[in-house]
Amino acid sequence: LPEGISKLPIALEQLLFELQKLPTIGQKSAQRLAFHLLQRREKDARSLSAALIRVAEEIRSCKRCFYLAEDTLCPICKDAEIGRRDATSLCVVEQPLDVLAIERTGAFRGVYHILEGALSPLKGINTEDIRIAELLRRLGEEAISEVILATNPNVEGEATGMYLARLIQKQGTKVSRLAYGLPMGTHLEYTDAVTLARALSGRSSL
């Protein structure tokens, strides 16, 4: 911490410093949060810090799919074990938050595999840096008949999806990629060419 440049108590500076490490939290947001916390009672501060410590200590990644878990397996893999989800249909995503997004749709009842990133040679993220080997091992060991690639619709996500599609096809498993629809409420004339081309190639028959 830089000393002597601030008129704030050191404890508060420390809190601001920690808050600003969080994504989307800039200096002003950190100050707003810190002053809000200051005004709350000590009991609230204790329960917040206890929750933070509990998450850090108790949440790990699922041994099978790398989603968030409190035990060896996550709740989704546990449900698949007892037949409450379709273990033959596997959806591949980049991050745990993507699972939440797909779960919100209610349109998928299979299981997941979290890559924990996407291929990006520019950022030095190569095939061995994300959970590709683990995915291929699952395809060999589990009764998975269909893989749905749901990596992000950006350069890294597309490259990762194409790379995985080739590998999975080689193993003889059916593989599909999310179709990119057009955002609702938009006009074709305002849609960029890449999105429109993707939507065209992913069109479905009626």
Q: Residue count of the chain, please give it.
A: 206
Q: Which amino acid is at 148?
A: I
The residue among 15 and 139 lying less far from Zn ion, judged by its C-beta, is 139
The residue among 98 and 156 lying less far from Zn ion, judged by its C-beta, is 98
CB 79 within 8 Å of CB 87: no
Out of 15, 34, 62, 164, the only residue in the binding site for Zn ion (CB under 5 A) is 62
**Any contact of residue 132 with Zn ion (CB under 5 A)?**
no
The residue among 34 and 67 lying less far from Zn ion, judged by its C-beta, is 67
**Any contact of residue 65 with Zn ion (CB under 5 A)?**
yes
User: How far apart are CB 153 and Zn ion at their closest, in Å?
Assistant: 24
CA distance 189 to 202: 19
**Any contact of residue 67 with Zn ion (CB under 5 A)?**
yes
Residue 198 token pair: 């993707």
**Any contact of residue 80 with Zn ion (CB under 5 A)?**
no
Q: How many CA atoms lie within 13 A of 130 on its CB side?
A: 27
Q: How many CA atoms lie within 13 A of 17 on its CB side?
A: 11
Out of 30, 74, 93, 135, the only residue in the binding site for Zn ion (CB under 5 A) is 74
What phi-psi label fits residue 39: left (phi over 0), alpha (psi between -120 and 50 degrees) or beta? alpha
List of residues contacting Zn ion (CB under 5 A): 62, 64-65, 67, 74, 77
